[in-house]
Structure 1
Amino acid sequence: MRSPRLRMVALAAAPLLLLSACSTDGGTDGADQSDDAAATSAAPTGDVSELAVDTSGDAPQITRDGEPMAEGELPFGVAETQVEEVEAGDGDEVSEGDEVRVRYLTVNGTSGEEVLSTFEQEDPVTLDLSNELLFPAFLEELPGRRAGDALLMALPPAAAFGNQGNSQLGIGAEDTLVFYMEIVDSAAPLTKATGEEVEPEDGLPEVEADGESAATITIPDDAEAPDELVVQPLIEGEGAEVKAGQSIKVHYTGVKFSDGEGFDNSYDRGEPAEFPIGVGQVISGWDEGLVGQPVGSRVLLVIPAEQAYGEAPEQDDESQTTAPAHELAGETLVFVVDILGAY
């Protein structure tokens, strides 16, 4: 029987399942981790050729010798990564560094229980093959495959979460992971917003942006700071909508509404910023303004202080201000954000 609680936890962090142990908190030294994990998987109890996929139901099911894995001979384990093609696609070829959209089902080889299935989700999951923290099997096996390919993969602990496992997902130190994966499509990662230009409303900050360097943002002389969040798409992207709980990759420029002075941009750091969205890890104006926007969009955000870094502290009895919690406290902020990816 499936575990609804585990499935809900796993679906909230679907891409995290595909990140290797060295990227998780509390990880051990890579060499020690690999050696220890290899010891637990040295005696294989199965081969990926024994597995098949039943697609006759509402969602795929991995079987072993014709039986659902949870009802068959267990445990199932392998000493090294094994991959078998279930179906050959005829779509575009996946290149190294691509962003690949996939659907996948994961089963714990020890218990035979399903860990995660993304087939019930509306949109595929995006794997960024430029992310070296992905499981090595995906970095090595997906380039050269084609859209439409379907694969079965068996990963020993050493090729997945190592000797610490993943307690959140119910994966132990000796558990082989079995994946059924369908490749939907792939594309080179975006470097700037792309899509249909949108005419902004009158009276908003004026934006000049090429997506290759920090945007120039000009505050009109007669403009008044808004009381509520302003979300103005400048380019409507063609990708999937950003969902709360995903991590997004963005390039951005930020200035103060009060004087137009820039205070931060990602371009000076030479690479996009990445962070979770819609879960309170960034200022609430970003959470509210970017969730629901399509990937590829360029978005102008005008964010009141209460949805940014809070109001400035009031003067005390001696007419001296206390130190603000943040140097931008009390400021209405203006951002131009290019949404390059959501995972």
Structure 2
Amino acid sequence: MNAEDGTVTGETFTTAQSGSLTLDENFKTQFPMEYTAFRTAKVGSYIAYGIPGTAAVEGSTAAPSAAAVPAELSVFLVTAVKDVVAPLSAPEGDTVTPPAGLPTVKDDDKGTPVITIGDAKAPTELISQDLITGKGAALKATDTIVANYVGVNLVGGKVFDSSYAKGSPATFSLSQVIEGWTKGLTGKTVGSRVLLVIPAAQAYGDAGQGDAKGDLVFVVDILGVQ
């Protein structure tokens, strides 16, 4: 609320739309005082803190004017606390020898999976094959996961997308991706490396999306659940 006149600027107490805070190192660096308050609070605690206002600044030739900003008071009720397991940096688990006839996968000298199509045939149905079986939690179709991946076209083997090339894992909901990912990754475990061979009908169709056209092949390293 505006601490000067009591005007409420936003709240969730009456709307039952609670939010969440992730108390990681990034939050600690940006908001050290709030981090300490929330990190030590117990469920049921109320936490209040104020932010001082600023006076109006008259403009000049050197700097523009700025309106006054009132002091702000925020109150939080801690309703639940959940420990979050940090994602893995790489797949961990038991290596699996896949059946013959599938695209093959080997890491290059930088640890990036390289997919070779070889003699693999066009899929008649979705193929979801563990290359490494992780020992973590099994994924649900509604989970938001953290994963590294590489995607290529079955015809030609051209890479059209890669989180490795972007320099960091991707975070996404399994309910908001192509059908081949939702069905192919549901039930797989954290720590796994999964080879997906996806018919066009369960990807972006024959028309494709960008460079991803027709039947697709992915290697997905499941690093965590958010």
> Is TM (by shorter chain) over 0.5?
yes
SS in 2 for 1:254: strand
**1:214 lines up with 2:112 in the alignment:** yes
SS in 1 for 2:138: coil
User: Deviation at 1:302?
Assistant: 0.5
Match of 2:77 in 1: 178
Q: Deviations over 1:120-141 (max 9, x none)?
A: xxxxx995725649x9699824
Match of 2:63 in 1: none
Match of 1:283 in 2: 178
Match of 1:230 in 2: 127
**1:333 lines up with 2:211 in the alignment:** no
Output the amino acid matched with 1:340: L
User: Structure with the greater relative contact order (CA < 8 A, sep ≥ 6): 1 or 2?
Assistant: 2
Indicate if the aligned counterparts of 2:160 and 2:212 stay in contact, CA closer than 8 A. no
* Cα distance in 2 between the residues matched to 1:287 and 1:258: 22
- Of 148, 157, 163, which residue of structure 2 is paired with 1:260? 157
- Of 37, 46, 63, which residue of structure 2 is paired with 1:154? 46
* Cα distance in 1 between the residues matched to 2:220 and 2:172: 13
User: Deviation at 1:201?
Assistant: 1.9
Match of 1:242 in 2: 139
* Cα distance in 2 between the residues matched to 1:154 and 1:286: 41
Output the amino acid matched with 1:178: L
Output the amino acid matched with 2:212: L
Output the amino acid matched with 1:154: Y
- Of 87, 90, 114, which residue of structure 2 is paired with 1:192? 90
Query: Taking structure 1 as reference, are residues 153 and 289 closer, same or farther at Cα in structure 2, changes over 3 Å only?
Result: farther
Indicate if the aligned counterparts of 2:151 and 2:160 stay in contact, CA closer than 8 A. yes
User: Deviation at 1:338?
Assistant: 0.7
The number of aligned residues is: 199
User: Deviation at 1:143?
Assistant: 9.9
Indicate if the aligned counterparts of 1:41 and 1:157 stay in contact, CA closer than 8 A. no
Structure 2: 5+ residue stretches without partners: 52-72
* Cα distance in 2 between the residues matched to 1:242 and 1:126: 23
Indicate if the aligned counterparts of 2:50 and 2:74 stay in contact, CA closer than 8 A. no
Q: Deviations over 1:151-191 (max 9, x none)?
A: 444245979xxxxxxxxxxxxxx98442244555x654311
Indicate if the aligned counterparts of 2:178 and 2:204 stay in contact, CA closer than 8 A. yes
Match of 1:39 in 2: 3
User: Deviation at 1:268?
Assistant: 1.3
User: Deviation at 1:254?
Assistant: 1.2
Q: Deviations over 1:2-57 (max 9, x none)?
A: xxxxxxxxxxxxxxxxxxxxxxxxxxxxxxxxxxx3528979xxxxxxxxxxxxxx
Indicate if the aligned counterparts of 1:252 and 1:265 stay in contact, CA closer than 8 A. yes
TM-score, structure 1 as length reference: 0.48
Match of 2:171 in 1: 274
- Of 246, 251, 254, which residue of structure 1 is paired with 2:148? 251
User: Deviation at 1:310?
Assistant: 0.4
* Cα distance in 2 between the residues matched to 1:211 and 1:143: 43
* Cα distance in 2 between the residues matched to 1:190 and 1:211: 20
Indicate if the aligned counterparts of 1:38 and 1:158 stay in contact, CA closer than 8 A. no
Output the amino acid matched with 2:184: G
Output the amino acid matched with 1:332: D
Output the amino acid matched with 1:269: K
> 1:303-322 to 2 correspondence within 5 Å?
303-312=198-207
* Cα distance in 2 between the residues matched to 1:138 and 1:189: 26
User: Deviation at 1:213?
Assistant: 3.6
* Cα distance in 1 between the residues matched to 2:21 and 2:197: 29
Match of 2:103 in 1: 205
TM-score, structure 2 as length reference: 0.69
SS in 2 for 1:39: coil
Query: Taking structure 1 as reference, are residues 208 and 327 closer, same or farther at Cα in structure 2, changes over 3 Å only?
Result: closer
Q: Provide the aligned C-alpha RMSD in A.
A: 4.0
* Cα distance in 1 between the residues matched to 2:225 and 2:33: 18
